[in-house]
Structure 1
Amino acid sequence: GVETAGFMVDAATGAVTLTSAPAAGAVVTAGFVFDTPVRFDADRIEVTLESFGAGRMVAMPLIEVRV
């Protein structure tokens, strides 16, 4: 239940190595946050105004930008 920054990630393999081993029997979990650059697939966004300050938008397809 304690967050740590004491780890390294091998970008080629994705292997995570902790700088110090957890106690025997300790549960190790991970949370993942990532950022994927994308662009819109269309030049227009269709929006319907339902009422004052509220609207509806159809699905907007996105395309991953690979760098």
Structure 2
Amino acid sequence: MTKRMSPPTVIADAIGKAVTARRPRTRYATGFGARPLIGLRRLLSDRTFDTLVSRSMGLPR
């Protein structure tokens, strides 16, 4: 597993919390880089953010 990938248990724990929560949150920042990514989302325009995410995943523009 690469350093940037979170173990599946981290994601499973977040899903478990969301399913059992009395008042679930809209978003759960879980996994490597989730919080900074949410911060960037607030700062950047939709087009810029989409381009950044697409390039980081190796997707065509």
TM-score range, shorter chain: under 0.3
Q: Which has more strand, going by share of residues? A: 1
* Normalised TM-score (structure 1): 0.19
Which structure: larger Rg? 1
Q: Which has more helix, going by share of residues? A: 2
